[in-house]
């Protein structure tokens, strides 16, 4: 994979899990990284880990479901590093605990706001910066295997991730002529704090979940998602656009 020396990357939801790993891998490959999240403590920990490893990173606390905060976030990365070359829109939540007819309106609205509206807003302002620079760029959005195959009691989450895939594909069509490549990753059962918390709340056995959701009987790692994000952001994937890359232990093949 080619070096990201001299490049600038923005990672939303970078305070933990997949977002932290993606931020660390970008920095290790030479990029300057701006980590965005609502969790200031977690964001600071991500930056500290990057700096301790010899990388360059900074943190901005932002609610990426709010347009003005996303606009300020992109402005901050340009002010700090001078430009934007790569973006990974990773921020997401999963809060459902029952079937659709029992789902509270405010829970549905929050899931759509964080998982889908935030991707729309992030892409909107990232694309504006790319167009202003007139030098291309890449965007990787975190969708899900739910974009193709729903899990029970996840109606809002599934709807949000279908939407992420739709935004990714349509924007890929619209902006390829500007040298901007837009793709998505569809993670399966990745071992993250969000997954562990969801299993605990729902009383699920991790071994059963891993066996049901992968062909290997194991959870994927955050590093595997990070490597996929870097590949989709690199020149090695220069002919890849509008693609949904499943990193799912073969779940969708079953």
pLDDT digits (tens, 9 = 90+) for 105-158: 999 999 999 999 999 999 999 999 999 999 999 999 999 999 999 999 999 999
Percent of the chain with pLDDT over 70: 99
Which member of 81, 157, 175, 251 is catalytic?
157
Give the dihedral sign, CA 100/150/65/22: positive
Active site residue 251: no
Tokens of 156: 């809002």
pLDDT in tens, 29-68: 999 999 999 999 999 999 999 999 999 999 999 999 999 9
pLDDT at residue 1 in the model? 56
pLDDT of 194 reads 81
- Other residues' Cβ atoms within 10 Å of the Cβ of residue 112: 17
Q: C-alpha angle with apex 32: 31 to 36, nearest 5 degrees? A: 120
68 in Cβ contact with 76 (< 8 Å): no
Closest residue by Cα to residue 187 from 16, 19, 3:
19
Residue 253 lies in a domain: no
Q: Is residue 254 part of a domain?
A: no
> pTM surpassing 0.85?
yes
Confirm if 185 and 219 have CB atoms less than 8 A apart.
no
Sorted by sequence, the CB contacts under 8 Å of residue 254 that are 6+ apart come out as 215
Tell me how far apart the alpha carbons of residues 130 and 152 are, in angstroms, rounded to a whole number. Answer: 39
Distance (Å, whole) CA 199 – CA 206: 7
Structural domain contains residue 113: yes
Has residue 135 been placed in a domain? yes
Sign for the CA dihedral angle at 194, 71, 144, 220 comes to negative
Domain membership of residue 226 (yes or no) is yes
Tell whether 82 is covered by a domain. Answer: yes
In a domain, 207, yes or no: yes
pLDDT per position as a tens digit, 182-212? 999 999 999 988 888 888 888 888 889 888 9
**Is position 12 within any domain?**
yes
* The pLDDT of residue 95: 87
Domain assignment of residue 80, given as a range: 8-247
Q: What is the CATH number of the domain that holds 221?
A: 3.40.50.720
- State the average pLDDT for the chain: 96
How many domains is the chain partitioned into structurally?
Answer: 1
């Amino acid at each position: 994979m080619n070096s990201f020396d001299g490049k600038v990357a923005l990672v939303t939801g970078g305070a933990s899990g997949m977002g932290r790993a993606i931020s660390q891998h970008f920095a290790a490959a030479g990029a300057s990284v701006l980590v965005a999240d609502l969790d200031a403590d977690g964001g600071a920990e991500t930056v500290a880990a990057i700096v301790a490893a010899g990388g360059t990173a900074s943190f901005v606390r932002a609610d990426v479901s709010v347009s003005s905060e996303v606009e300020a976030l992109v402005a901050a990365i340009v002010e700090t590093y001078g430009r934007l070359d790569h973006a990974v829109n990773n921020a997401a939540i999963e809060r459902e605990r029952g079937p659709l007819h029992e789902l509270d309106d405010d829970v549905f609205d929050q899931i759509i706001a964080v998982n889908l509206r935030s991707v729309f807003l992030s892409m909107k302002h990232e694309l504006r910066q790319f167009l202003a620079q007139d030098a291309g760029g890449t965007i990787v959005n975190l969708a899900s295997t739910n974009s193709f195959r729903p899990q029970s009691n996840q109606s809002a989450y599934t709807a949000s991730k279908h939407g992420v895939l739709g935004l990714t594909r349509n924007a890929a069509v619209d902006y390829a002529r500007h040298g901007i490549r837009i793709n998505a990753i569809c993670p399966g059962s990745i071992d993250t704090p969000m997954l562990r918390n969801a299993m605990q709340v729902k009383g699920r056995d991790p071994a059963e979940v891993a066996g049901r959701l992968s062909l290997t009987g194991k959870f994927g790692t955050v590093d595997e998602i990070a490597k996929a994000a870097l590949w989709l952001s690199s020149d090695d994937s220069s002919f890849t656009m509008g693609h949904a890359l499943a990193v799912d232990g073969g779940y969708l093949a079953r």
